[in-house]
Amino acid sequence: MTLTYYLVLAAILFTIGAVGVLVRRNAIVVFMCVELMLNSVNLTLVTFARATGTVDGQIMAFFVMVVAAAEVVVGLAIIMSIYRTRRSASVDDANLLKY
């Protein structure tokens, strides 16, 4: 079935995103990887919505997009302010919040 291709693609995208989050230090890249994961999930949602013939998955995908948009705004703002104070976009440099 064609469904499988979509799901495999989503899984590949998700994996790329997850690995990217884990291995890259640049905050912008990490951020984009997060977006990649979100969108891979969206793809899955839409795929299943199509398969079951309901709109629930599509509605959910819209939700994710809205939240992701809001997240981009807040996240970029945070990255900007971190970059301004630390002159670095590396997430490993922002490690003050610990034990």
Q: How far is the CB of 55 from other proteins (least distance, A)?
A: 25
CA distance 44 to 54: 14
Residue 69 touching other proteins (CB under 8 A): no
Tokens of 6: 């979509």
Looking only at residues 35 through 64 of this chain, which bind other proteins when binding is defined by CB under 8 A? Answer: none
Residue 95 touching other proteins (CB under 8 A): yes
Residue 99 touching other proteins (CB under 8 A): yes
Q: Which residues of 58-84 are buried (b: 16+ CB within 10 A; e: fewer)?
A: eebbeebeeebeeeeeebeeebeebbe
Q: How many residues bind other proteins (CB under 8 A)?
A: 14
Looking only at residues 7 through 36 of this chain, which bind other proteins when binding is defined by CB under 8 A? Answer: 18, 21-23, 25, 30
Q: Which residues contact 72 (CB under 8 A, 6 or more apart)?
A: 31, 35
Residue 74 touching other proteins (CB under 8 A): no
Using CB under 8 A, list all residues that contact other proteins: 18, 21-23, 25, 30, 91-92, 94-99
